[in-house]
Amino acid sequence: MFTGIITDIGEILDLRQEGDLRARIGTRHDPAGIEIGASIACDGLCLTVIATGTDTNARNWFEVQISAETVDSSNLGRKVWRPGRRVNLERALKVGDELGGHIVSGHVDGVAEITAMRDEGASTRVTLKVPPALAGFIAPKGSVALNGTSLTVNEVKGDSFGVNLIPHTRSVTTWGDAKVGDAVNLEIDTLARYVARMSEWSASLR
């Protein structure tokens, strides 16, 4: 479980296909403090650590395996990950940690596309288009996780919605690299998912 508050910006160091996709990700986190089997959200994807270490350039790293299902349901299916790409990282929530964002599972629901960006004062307004099947789960003033970052929805219009990025968010996440046309991992709010499921189940009993 995560909160959508990014704790590090990692870097893709290596990608290779070994049945599943295997990625080595550079991090500022001390590998001695990362247990094998731990969960780390990487651009919003909850992935399991299978190896850790430090390379000859003194870069700390961890490795994860990524299933075909995860690739297909995320922006990895568009081959956006490549060596050198920066990714948002968040360690799993611990009991007693501050819940600064919202409850995030790390199970990406689909891919949104950035369709517009404009400055509003010191902040940046970003408009994204979502798959029609997910549009109904997004509500004004509700929460979404975009590339693992907890953000508040400003407005919704059809299958598009907007969020506002303050300078701090852009500086401590990869949102400082964002541009129109980017494919972004989207996780809808967990509460919205269960409310929709309960409504569907109730309707089936009538």
In this predicted structure, the answer to whether residue 194 has a pLDDT above a threshold of 70 is no
Q: For 93-121, what is the mean pLDDT? A: 88
CB atoms within 10 A of CB 138: 21
Would you say the CATH fold of 110-198 matches that of 8-91?
A: yes
Write down the pTM of the prediction.
0.91
**Distance, C-alpha 75 to centroid of its chain:** 10
| CATH class as words, domain 110-198 | mainly beta
What is the overall mean pLDDT for the chain? 92
Instruction: Quote the CA–CA distance of 205 and 30 in Å, as a whole number.
Output: 52
User: Tell me: the pLDDT tens digits for 167-181?
Assistant: 999 999 999 999 999
Contacts of 197 (CB under 8 A, 6+ apart): none
Q: For 113-119, what is the mean pLDDT? A: 97
Tokens of 104: 């995030």
Split at pLDDT 50, 70, 90, the class of 189 is confident
CB 10 within 8 A of CB 87: yes
Q: What is the predicted pLDDT for the residue at 101?
A: 78
Q: Domain coordinates of the chain in residue numbers?
A: 8-91, 110-198
In this predicted structure, the answer to whether residue 15 has a pLDDT above a threshold of 70 is yes
197 or 37, which is more confident: 37
- Of 3.40.50.300, 2.40.30.20, 2.40.50.180, 2.30.130.10, which CATH number belongs to 8-91? 2.40.30.20
Q: What is the predicted pLDDT for the residue at 58?
A: 86
Q: What is the predicted pLDDT for the residue at 197?
A: 64
Q: What is the predicted pLDDT for the residue at 74?
A: 96
Q: Write the single-letter amino acid at 102.
A: H
